[in-house]
Amino acid sequence: MSFLITATVAYLIYLVLTIGGSAVLLWNRAELVIGAVCAVAAGALLKNRFIGKNLRMLNPARWFAFLVYLFPFFFAMAKANIDVAYRVITGRINPAIVKINPNLKNDLSLTILANSITLTPGTLSVDVDEKTNELYVHWINIDPKVLKDMPRDYHPICDSFPDWARRIAE
Amino acid sequence: MTWLPVIIVMLVCIGIAVARVFIGPGAPTRLVAFDTINTLVVTSLVILAMMFDHVIFVDVAIVYALLSFAMTLYVAKYIQGDKF
Amino acid sequence: MGVLNTISYVFIGIGLFFNLVGVIGLHRFPDMYTRLHAATKCTTFGSIFIITAVIVQSAGIWALEGAYPSQSVMCIHAVLALVALLVTNATGAHAMARAAHRSGEKPAKAVVDDLQEKEND
């Protein structure tokens, strides 16, 4: 099963990359055959690396959630860039590295959350604790309220992104 | 649509980032500046492809993005002191 | 074609502004982590807008002039280049920050450093 998924994904990427090679049809026959051979080879070589044992990402509802997630993500990203532009011009910074515990269980959701944190307002994920799934976040302009209690509140950093990551990948 | 001023501004950006590569200080800062240059070069290649109407430049840009990502990962691994 | 040109010029303006802010931030900020903030976010965002302008132009020519193969291929490949740039930039920033912290680079003017406390334990 994992071999089949890997080979299919490789073949689809190949087809998108070689589109328009022939004027009459979208692909000519030699391209299709060579791509199929290469996709089978890639699937046989990489089947244990690409997808693992867990097949829950095949559910189309998760892909739909991912597409919906792109809209709030893009707005947060635009806000982040205006914020960073303001800090570049004024030079007003107050940085710190804080530890947050987003309560996520698997690697894919943690990856999505870490990438979202990197691209959204004023924060940058630095390190991850693999045992407890805690993230260390560099924060460019810290909120003094967060510093008071030790299990840090993650809502000022990445307000509802852990819920989105849980919805997509858990 | 004229693309020449766009590519000139991109070249100015790349020049400013190259200055940071030479000033330093320290390996991590130089790596950050180098990664910025890679992103700007990928964008410039896409602009050049539109300017000269050569599709092959976009393919070069895709391969450059992926290879520069591998370069960044390996240099980062070297800086943090891991064995390969 | 006029509307498409206007959209492209607006996108290129936004993109060039953010690219310039990113590389100026490389010189304005005091230490490696804040420079990484400026460099990663601003250049990624600017590149999204510039490549989107290229996509809009080539898609416009493709739609107006029919099956013109070079422009259609350029449109699809530019989308792929954008996806490659988005996926690799955030991950690369993460790798660089982690490597810098493990090599002993301290965040300048930092108020709290939880990661340093963990390494001291």
- B25-47 pLDDT, tens digit per residue, is 888 888 888 888 999 999 999 88
In a domain, B17, yes or no: no
In a domain, C64, yes or no: yes
- Candidates C99, A29, A160, A33; CA nearest to B28 is C99
A97 and A164 in one domain?
A: yes
A70 and A23 in one domain?
A: no
Is B34 in the C-facing interface, judged by CB distances under 8 Å? no
Task: Give, as one character, the DSSP assignment of residue C38.
Answer: I
In a domain, C67, yes or no: yes
3-state SS, residue A99: strand
A158 and A79 in one domain?
A: yes
CB-based contacts of C96: which residues, under 8 Å, 6+ apart? Answer: B28, B31, B32, B35, B72, B76, C36
In a domain, C66, yes or no: yes
The shortest CB-CB distance from C114 to any of A94, A115, A136 is to: A136
Q: Which domain holds residue A132?
A: 59-169
* Domains of chain B: total: 1
Asked whether the beta carbons of residue B61 and residue C73 sit closer than 8 angstroms, the reply is no
The answer to whether residues A17 and C80 touch, using CB atoms and an 8 Å cutoff, is yes
* Domains of chain C: total: 1
Q: Which domain holds residue C39?
A: 2-105
Q: How many CB pairs under 8 A join B and C?
A: 140
Q: What is the pLDDT of residues A17-51, one digit of tens each?
A: 777 655 555 677 777 888 888 888 888 888 777 76
Residue of C nearest to B54 (CA): C70
Asked whether the beta carbons of residue B31 and residue C57 sit closer than 8 angstroms, the reply is no
- Candidates C117, C106, C31, C97; CA nearest to A98 is C117
Q: Which domain holds residue B69?
A: 24-84
The reported pLDDT for the residue numbered A138 is 78
The reported pLDDT for the residue numbered A100 is 75
The reported pLDDT for the residue numbered C69 is 64
A140 and A110 in one domain?
A: yes
In a domain, B67, yes or no: yes
Task: Give, as one character, the DSSP assignment of residue A125.
Answer: E
> Which residue has tokens 């004229």?
B2
Is A46 in the C-facing interface, judged by CB distances under 8 Å? no
Amino acid in position A27: W
Instruction: Name residues of chain A where pLDDT drops below 70.
Output: 20-26, 51-58, 121, 143-159, 169-170
A77 and A7 in one domain?
A: no
Asked whether the beta carbons of residue C95 and residue B36 sit closer than 8 angstroms, the reply is no
* Domains of chain A: total: 2
Angle at A147 between CA A143 and CA A152, to 5 degrees: 100
* pLDDT per residue as tens, chain C (121 positions): 678 888 888 988 888 988 888 888 888 887 788 888 888 888 888 888 899 988 888 888 877 776 556 777 788 888 888 888 888 888 888 888 888 887 777 766 666 666 666 666 5
The shortest CB-CB distance from C97 to any of A84, A93, A124 is to: A124
